[in-house]
Amino acid sequence: MTIFHISAECFPIAKVGGLGDVVGALPKYQNKLGETSSVIMPFYNNKFTHSHTFKKVFSGRFNLGRTFNFDILTLEDNTLGYDLYLVHIPELLYTDYVYSSNDTERFLGFQIAALDWLVQLKTLPDIVHCHDHHTGLIPFMMSQSYAYHKLRNTPTVITIHNGQYQGWFSHNKIHLIPPFDFSKAGLLDWKHLINPLASAIKCAWKVTTVSPNYMEELKFAANGLEDLLRYESGKCVGILNGIDDKVWDPATDDSLIKNYSVKTANSGKKVNKEWLCKEFNLNPELPLFAFIGRLVGEKGADLLPEIFNNSLYHKNLSIMMLGSGDAVVEQELDRLKNQYPGFYNTYIGYNERLAHILYAAADFLVMPSRVEPCGLNQMYALRYGTVPIVNKVGGLKDTVEDFDNSGFGILHDGATVQEGSFAIHRAINFYNDTDRFKKNRNLIMKIDHSWDSSAQVYINLYNSLIL
Ligand code: ADP
């Protein structure tokens, strides 16, 4: 079966968060299962496109208020584990960022160019798998736009990685969508706006979310799409994300200061911790707590300054924070450095290598998220022998069990300062129970969250759609 994933992000080409990790891994695992799974994404102006060479497989032009030329490029030399097709629209997508304020035009152009190429292929795809709102108009265009008539019987799947962002825009831009029977315009609309994510939920053959629990939560909190998701629940299913266990393997990860396996976890983690603590002026004798992520409300980032302040007061732990986002939260988190030198530090920004080292160096990873569609960080933490401390929400609820309830992590019930601070207090007690803590470390490293099983679940889902 030929599957095309269409996405704004794909690791290692361009990644902002978990979407990139998923699209960079899932096709690889689907190919391992004998399918032909490829990725279509924008050609950005970034390190990856500068350091690789490409060949052109198609050229075209489309109208989006005016004419835009585009090329479809593929790698000369590909070791990714899946075919990669990059949509090069110099005037829209060749930017050094992934997202910006004119994303309506940028991603509309991306979707139109991708379909203009797909529709003329000698062998049409068996499945078109869209990811998030940036590709949400594809199911509509494939089923309604005259230009893509040949693709109308090709099944489409939309995966919701984050339902809060929907990409809505005004109806006065409806003329930018390739011509279709206007009586079908309702399929684009939600609450008097063109809403790409809502349209995808209406038009795709299947809707998936990145964890089963998130699917249920969206029926009650989906930034306005609750009713729609309840109405369409017959075609909705939650499939837990996996992790790329080749990229995220402490035994081979070349970002680490020292590699380690389950057997050598204690000594291996110690070397990484000592390096990190030296680099960031922290005490390596104390349990090390980490936060890695976007500093936004969904991640509970606004709670962190107070949670950290409460915990650091006792000076019995070290904390390292890696992230960027809300400017006020960034400032508050940075300010704590003056209060607790030697116990607390931050790296404000995005740093892929530091994230890998931090998963390896830390004893605990804190995730007081309010919303977590799946969450990959807790799964990376487990694989690196780091205990996740998580709020019981979304995919975190599906993947972490509390150590006091014959589990292996720390769960708290509610994204509040009190719950978060108390969870850290429990973690320190757990850490001080040395034998139990070390046994737990070995246990969590063996939990299999690789894509092997979920990739098969997606294949089964596609098979159910092929007539
Ligand atoms: P989301 O996609 O909502 O941001 P996920 O948990 O699904 O959250 O994925 C987050 C991914 O982004 C992980 O791979 C994590 O390590 C990475 N990440 C987030 N912030 C940073 C950062 N500041 N530096 C490096 N990696 C980061």
pLDDT per residue, tens digit, the chain (467 aa), is 999 999 999 999 999 999 999 999 999 999 999 999 999 999 999 999 999 999 999 999 999 999 999 999 999 999 999 999 999 999 999 999 999 999 999 999 999 999 999 999 999 999 999 999 999 999 999 999 999 999 999 999 999 999 999 999 999 999 999 999 999 999 999 999 999 999 999 999 999 999 999 999 999 999 999 999 999 999 999 999 999 999 999 999 999 999 999 999 999 999 999 999 999 999 999 999 999 999 999 999 999 999 999 999 999 999 999 999 999 999 999 999 999 999 999 999 999 999 999 999 999 999 999 999 999 999 999 999 999 999 999 999 999 999 999 999 999 999 999 999 999 999 999 999 999 999 999 999 999 999 999 999 999 999 999 96
DSSP assignment of 283-318? -TTSPEEEEEEEESGGGTGGGHHHHHHHHHTT---E
Residue 170 CA to ligand 1 centre (angstroms): 31
Domain with CATH 3.40.50.2000 in the chain: 2-242+452-466, 265-448
Spatial separation of the C-alpha atoms in residues 39 and 112, rounded to whole Å: 16
Residue 356 CA to ligand 1 centre (angstroms): 11
Residue 118 CA to ligand 1 centre (angstroms): 31
Contacts of 64 (CB under 8 A, 6+ apart): 105, 108, 109, 112, 176
Residue 123 CA to ligand 1 centre (angstroms): 36
Q: Are 380 and 304 in contact (CB under 8 A)?
A: no
Nearest Cα residue to atom 22 of ligand 1 = 350
- List pLDDT tens digits, range 159-213: 999 999 999 999 999 999 999 999 999 999 999 999 999 999 999 999 999 999 9
End-to-end C-alpha distance for the chain, whole angstroms? 12
User: What's the half-sphere exposure (Cβ side, CA atoms, 13 Å) at 199?
Assistant: 29
Question: Does residue 17 line the site of ligand 1, with CB under 6 A?
Answer: yes
User: What's the half-sphere exposure (Cβ side, CA atoms, 13 Å) at 38?
Assistant: 20
Pocket-testing residue among 296, 371, 376, ligand 1, by greatest number of atoms within 8 A of Cβ: 376
What are the tokens at 257? 């200061």
Nearest Cα residue to atom 17 of ligand 1 = 17
Question: Does residue 355 line the site of ligand 1, with CB under 6 A?
Answer: yes
CA-374 nearest atom, ligand 1: 7
Helix (H) or strand (E) holding 353: helix 352-361
| CA distances, 53 to each of 48, 86, 140 (Å) | 10, 12, 34
Question: Does residue 297 line the site of ligand 1, with CB under 6 A?
Answer: no
Question: Does residue 392 line the site of ligand 1, with CB under 6 A?
Answer: no
Nearest Cα residue to atom 5 of ligand 1 = 18
Spatial separation of the C-alpha atoms in residues 410 and 427, rounded to whole Å: 7
- Phi and psi angles of residue 330, each rounded to the nearest 5 degrees, phi first: -55, -45
CATH fold, domain 2-242+452-466, is Rossmann fold (3.40.50)
Question: Does residue 351 line the site of ligand 1, with CB under 6 A?
Answer: yes
Spatial separation of the C-alpha atoms in residues 229 and 247, rounded to whole Å: 34
| CA distances, 49 to each of 12, 43, 272, 351 (Å) | 10, 7, 31, 19
CA-378 nearest atom, ligand 1: 6
Q: Are 230 and 219 in contact (CB under 8 A)?
A: yes
Pocket-testing residue among 11, 159, 367, 377, ligand 1, by greatest number of atoms within 8 A of Cβ: 377
Question: Does residue 375 line the site of ligand 1, with CB under 6 A?
Answer: yes
Top CATH class, 265-448? alpha beta
Spatial separation of the C-alpha atoms in residues 134 and 309, rounded to whole Å: 38
Q: Is 15 annotated as a binding residue?
A: yes
Question: Does residue 92 line the site of ligand 1, with CB under 6 A?
Answer: no
Question: Does residue 322 line the site of ligand 1, with CB under 6 A?
Answer: yes
The residue length of the chain stands at 467
